[in-house]
Amino acid sequence: MCHVMGNVIENKGARVNMELYQQKRKKLNLRVKRNLQAWILIRILVVILISIAISLFILYLFSHRQIGTTFHRAHLTIRHVSDLLLPVIVASGGLCVLAGFLFAIFFPQRIAGPIYRIERGLKEISTGNFKHVFKLRKTDHFQSLAEAANEAMRRVAKELEDLENQLKSIEEILDRGENELAKEKIVVLRKRLENLLG
């Protein structure tokens, strides 16, 4: 009975895995872990905007001085250095905002994507597929978490396999009519289960 149930769970898990692999992976998916991505995005944007504002303010204050007689031969009449620097300040500020915005959009994905895949794998395991393997891209963060989860799942799968083998052994002993030996094996199996479950 356990063996049949294990096959049903295994077949169901294989079906779910195939469906997951058939989905195309996008480089940028803003729907994955929206709250986490928004949290990171807001913090990065605030830091970038504050740093840009401070740097532009300092540059403007520094450049807001009157030009003396050293530039009196210039063909253009310039009263303040800020008149020359204002277009530069606006252009550099715009580029900084654009670069910061692009960074802020792609950075959260590098964190939320692996968390989403690990969470999806845990849901897969909760359906009974104890042979699920967590796979992350080589460039993804949380590689150590995925490896630790894979190791834990290998140990769980091995324990379940050992328990199923012990149960089969007890069933064979009962079929032979050796009830006392079966009772001893059941006591050993129960202790092992208690140790596993804490």
CA distance 98 to 183: 73
pTM, to two decimals: 0.52
Question: What pLDDT is recorded for position 1?
Answer: 42
Helix ranges, 64-177 (H): 81-126, 143-175
- Residue listed under structure tokens 């779910």: 16
- Residue 183: CB atoms within 10 A of its CB come to 13
Question: What pLDDT is recorded for position 2?
Answer: 44
Question: What pLDDT is recorded for position 150?
Answer: 92
Q: Are the CB atoms for 47 and 80 separated by under 8 Å?
A: no
What amino acid is encoded at 38 in this protein?
A
CA distance 32 to 107: 13
CA distance 144 to 178: 48
CA distance 58 to 132: 55
What amino acid is encoded at 97 in this protein?
V
Structure tokens at 133: 């393997």
Question: What pLDDT is recorded for position 55?
Answer: 76
Q: Show the low-confidence residues of the chain (pLDDT under 70).
A: 1-28, 62-84, 198
Write the CA distances from 127 to 41, 81, 124, integer angstroms: 33, 68, 5
Task: Give the helix/strand (H/E) hosting 40.
Answer: helix 34-63
Question: What pLDDT is recorded for position 66?
Answer: 62
Question: What pLDDT is recorded for position 113?
Answer: 85
Q: Are the CB atoms for 104 and 47 separated by under 8 Å?
A: no
